[in-house]
Amino acid sequence: MVTRPEIPALGLGTYRNTDREECRDNVRSALDLGYRHIDTAEAYGNEVAVGEGIADSGVARDEVFVATKVLHPKFAEGYASDEIVASARDCLERLGLDSVDLLYGVHWPAGDYDPEETFDACATLHDEGVVDHVGVCNLTPELLDEARDASDVPIGALQVECHPLLQQEALREYCERHDIELVAYAPLGYGAVFDAPEIREIADEHGVSEAQVSLAWLREKGVCTIPKASTAEHIRDNWESLAFDLDDEDIDAIDAIDREDRQYDPEYAPDW
C-alpha cells in the first residue's frame, strides 16, 4: 500500500475564496499557469467553484492533485463513521469528481472527533476507491500517534500552519520519520512574513518578493505549500517561487528566526 502521496510542491489554497466566479477563475488560471495541486474543504463553501475551475481549465483530471477536507467542528452535525462517509461523498458531488487524491479526514481534532469512527470512515472510502490517500489537519505529534494507531489506511499527509515565523521543526521531523508529507497552510503567515526584517532583507538582495522567499524556504525544508491567492498577480508571483533557490546563507538566516507567531489559533484548536 502506498503510504506517502506525491503532492506537488506548490498548490493553490482556496480558504476564504467564497465568490463563486472569482474562485472558479482563480483555479482555472492557476492550472493554466502550471499549478497541479488544488486544496479546498467542505467548510470553505467553494467546492462547486473549485470543481468548475478544474473542469474549465481543460487540464486532464489525472494531472491535477485535488485535496479536500470534511467535518469542520464548527459545521459538523456528527462524527459517526456513516456521517463522515456521507459528508465525503457530498464533497465529491460538489466537486463534480469521482474521486479525490487526498481526503483530510480530520479538519480540526475538536467537537466529537473520535479517531476510531473517523478512520473507519476513511478506510471505507479508500476501499471504495473514491479516496486515494488519507490525511489529517492540525494534529500534534501525540494526536498523530493516536490517529496512526486508529487508521488501517496509512496517514499520508499532515496539513498545519507553517512558515518562517512558525517553523514547526518538531512536526517536520515527525513527518520525515514516519514518511508523512507536511503541507503548509498560511505559508506566508497571512502576510506576517512581509514584515519580517530577515525575509525582507533576503528578498531585497535577490530582487524577489517576500512571498517567494518564504515559499522557497519551505520547499527547501521539504514542505509542500498551498498559499491562498485571489488575484492573477499573486497566483503568478507564488508560482515563480519555484524558479528561485535560496543560498545556504539565506537558509541559515531564516532558520535562525526565533519566533513562534501562530496566526490561526481558534478556541477549538488542540493544545499546541
The answer to whether the beta carbons of residues 115 and 144 sit under 8 Å apart is: no
Residue 100 belongs to some domain of the structure:
yes
Inside any domain, residue 36: yes
Give the C-alpha separation, 82 to 104, whole Å: 16
| Structural domain containing residue 75 | 12-255
For 74-119, the pLDDT digits (tens) are: 777 777 899 999 999 999 999 999 999 999 999 999 988 999 999 9
Q: Is 44 a catalytic residue?
A: yes
Cell of 81: 463513521
pLDDT at 147 over 90: yes
Mean pLDDT of 51-63: 97
Pairing relationship of beta strands 65-69 and 181-185 according to DSSP bridges: unpaired
**63 pLDDT higher than 80:** yes
The 10s digit of each residue's pLDDT in 167-194 is 999 999 999 999 999 999 999 999 999 9
In the predicted structure, residue 4 carries a pLDDT above the cut 90 = no
1-35 residues labelled b (16+ CB within 10 A) or e (exposed)? eeeebebbebbbbbbebeeeeebbbbbbbbbeeeb
Helix (H, G, I), strand (E, B) or coil at 53: helix
**Which candidate in 15, 35, 44, 268 is catalytic?**
44
Q: What is the pLDDT of residue 136?
A: 98
What residues have CB less than 8 Å from 106, skipping those under 6 apart? 71, 113, 118, 136, 137, 138, 139, 147
Task: Residue 89: count other Cβ atoms within 10 Å of its Cβ.
Answer: 14
Number of domains in the chain: 1
Residue 272 inside a domain? The answer is no
The answer to whether residue 178 sits within a structural domain is yes
Residue 260 domain-assigned (yes or no): no
Residue 212 sits in a domain whose CATH number is: 3.20.20.100
The helix/strand count (H/E) of the chain reads as: 10, 8
Considering the domain boundaries, does residue 69 fall inside one? yes
Express as a percent the part of the chain with pLDDT over 70.
Answer: 98
Q: What is the pLDDT of the chain when averaged over all its residues?
A: 95
| Residue 2: inside a domain | no
In a domain, 18, yes or no: yes
pLDDT, position 74:
76
pLDDT higher than threshold 70 for residue 248: yes
| pTM, 2 dp | 0.96
